[in-house]
Amino acid sequence: MLIIDRYLLRQFVQTFLICFLSLTGVFVVFDSFTNLDSFVHAAKGMQLLKLMGAYYAYQSVFFFDRTCSLLVLMSAMFTVAWIQRHHEMTALLAAGISRIRVVAPVIAAAVIIILFSALNREAIMPRFRERLAQRPGDLKGGVAQELSPEIDNDTDVLIAGKAMYPDQQRIERPKFVLPPALVDYGKQLVADNAYYRAPEGNRPGGYLFEGMQEPKNLAKKPSLLLGNRPVLITPRDAPDWLKPDQCFLVSEMTFDYLNDARALRMFASTGELIRSLRNPNFSFRPDIRVQVHSRMVQPLLDLTLFFLGLPLVVSRESRNVFLAIGLCMGVVTLFLLVGLGFQQLGAMQWWFVTPALAAWAPLMLFAPAAVGLSESMWVR
C-alpha cells in the first residue's frame, strides 16, 4: 500500500468516526433529556448512568444502521475535498495518476463499511432485537402500553383492548370482535384480562381469557368451530385446563406481533422476515414484503448513493469543503425522499406499485445516473 493510500484511508476513517460519534452524541443528549423522567423512574439510586449507558449502547447499533450510508458518503466527500483544498489532488494528477486510482482506498473502505452495515442488520441487530425495540418508558417494566387493534387474518378476529403489558404478555380489558362465522354466542369477547399462551402439546397457541363478561354463560356452551377446527374453546370441552370463568381463543397472532410489529420489520433478519410470511397474519401485509425486498437491495442502494455523491467532488475543481457537504446533503435528501416515497406506495399497493417494484425502483432510477457520473472519475 502506497503512502498516499494510507494517508487517504486514515483521513477517511478518522472523518467517519468523528462524524458518527458526533451525531451519536447529539442523539443521546437530545433523547436522554427528552426521556429523563422515564430513566429516573426506571433507575434505582446511583444506577441511573449505568441504565442510560446500557440503553444507548444498544441504540447506537441501530443508529449506525440508520446513518451508515450518509456517513460513508459524507466522509468520502470530505476526504476528497480536503486533498483538493490543499492541492494534493492536483499534484497527483500531474504525476499521471488517474482520479479513480487516487480515490481507490476510499472506495474500498466505503465498500467494507457498507458490507459491515449489512452484517449488522442480518446478524447483530436481530440478536438484540428485544433491547433495540425497548423505549425509555419500557425499562421500568409493568408499564401499560397502547394496543393498536389488529386483525387475525387466519380467523378474521379483530384483536383490541384497553392496554397491554409486554412483561406479562397480558391484554387488559380485552375486547375481541368476532367474525360472522363465530357469532353464535355474541359478537365479541370481553373479559378482565387475556393472556397469550404459546402452543404446548396438543393445545394450539392463542389467548386465555379470564374473568369473562361477554358472552354470558359461556362455560355451559360447546366450543365454536371454524371449518373443522375449534377456534373458541369453552370450559365445557376443556374442563381439565379451563375454569368456568375462562375461555380460549385460538390465534396465530402472537403477542410479540401485537407488542411491536414495527420491531419485526426493523430488527429481524431477512431470513426471519421471509419465514414470517408463512404466517397468515404476515402473508397479507405488503409492508412486510416491501421490507424483505428492501433488505436485499439495501447494500446496492448504499453503493449507488455513494457513487452518486463522490463524483460530484472528485470531478470538480472547487476546493470548498462546505460546498461539497452541501452537495452531499442535496443528493442524500433527494435519494431518501424517492426511496421512502416508493416504500409508502408499495406498502399501500397503490396503483401498479408492487412490493418488489417499490424496493427496486430507486435502484433502477439512480443506478444509471451513478454509472454515468462515475465515468468522470476515470478521466485523468
310 in any annotated domain: yes
Domain of residue 221 covers 155-251
Alpha-carbon torsion 134, 135, 140, 143, what sign? negative
- Residue 380 confidence (pLDDT): 58
Q: Are residue 39 and residue 120 in the same domain, yes or no?
A: yes
Q: Cell 495518476: give the residue.
A: 97
Cβ atoms of 132 and 59 within 8 Å: the answer is yes
Q: Which amino acid is it at 44?
A: K
Q: Measured between alpha carbons, how far is 194 from 232 in angstroms, rounded to an integer?
A: 13
Task: Tell me how far apart the alpha carbons of residues 107 and 227 are, in angstroms, rounded to a whole number.
Answer: 59
Do 97 and 200 lie in one domain? The reply is no
The number of domains in the chain is 2
Q: Residues 276, 282: contact at Cβ < 8 Å? A: yes
> Domain for residue 258, yes or no?
no
Is residue 222 located within the same domain as residue 108?
Answer: no
Residues 265, 287 contacting (CB under 8 angstroms): yes
Residues 6+ apart with CB under 8 A from 374: 307, 310, 311
Distance CA 373, CA 362 (A): 16
pTM to 2 decimals? Answer: 0.76
* pLDDT computed for residue 211 by the predictor: 92
Residues 284, 317: Cα–Cα separation, whole Å: 52
Distance CA 67, CA 323 (A): 21
Q: How many CB atoms lie within 10 A of CB 109?
A: 19
My answer on whether 7 and 132 are in the same domain is yes
270 within a domain of the structure (yes/no):
no
CB count in 10 Å sphere of residue 129: 18
Q: Tell me, yes or no, whether 288 lies in a domain.
A: yes
Beta bridge partners of 159: 150
Residues 118 and 198 occupy one common structural domain: no
Residue 27: what pLDDT? Answer: 93
Answer yes or no: do 128 and 14 share one domain.
yes
Same domain, 301 and 224: no
Instruction: Report d(CA 178, CA 232) in Å as an integer.
Output: 10
The pLDDT value given to residue 136? 77
Q: Do 159 and 120 share a structural domain? A: no
Residue 141: CB atoms within 10 Å: 10
Does 291 map to a domain?
Answer: yes
39, three cell numbers = 430513566
Say yes or no: 19 and 113 in one domain.
yes
Phi, psi of 82, rounded to the nearest 5 degrees: -70, -45
Q: Which of 251, 267, 292 finishes a domain? A: 251
Q: Per-residue pLDDT tens, the chain, 380 aa: give them.
A: 588 888 889 999 999 999 999 999 999 999 988 888 878 877 765 587 888 888 899 999 999 999 999 899 989 888 888 887 777 777 887 777 878 888 889 999 999 999 999 999 999 998 888 788 777 766 766 667 778 788 887 888 889 898 888 778 899 999 999 888 888 888 899 999 999 998 888 888 999 999 999 888 888 889 998 888 889 999 988 888 888 899 999 988 888 777 665 566 678 888 878 877 776 666 567 777 888 888 899 999 999 999 988 887 776 555 566 676 677 778 888 888 998 888 888 877 777 788 888 889 999 999 998 888 887 777 65
User: 149 preceded by cis ω (within 30°)?
Assistant: no
Cα angle 189, 196, 220; round to 5: 40
Burial 287-307 (b: 16+ CB within 10 A, else e): bbbbbbbbbebbbebbbbbbb
Residues 111 and 170 placed together within one structural domain of the fold: no
Whether residues 241 and 328 share a domain: the answer is: no
- Residue 273 within a domain: no
Domain final position from 228, 251, 274: 251
Measured distance CA(22)–CA(17) in Å, rounded: 8
Alpha-carbon torsion angle 369, 370, 373, 374, nearest 10: -150
Predicted confidence at residue 364, as pLDDT, reads 92
Residues 132, 263 contacting (CB under 8 angstroms): yes
113 and 160 share one domain? no
* 264 lies in some domain: no
Picking from 234, 251, 268, the residue at the C-terminal end of a domain is 251
Torsion of CA 105, 366, 15, 56, to 10 degrees: -130
Q: Would you say residue 290 lies in a domain?
A: yes
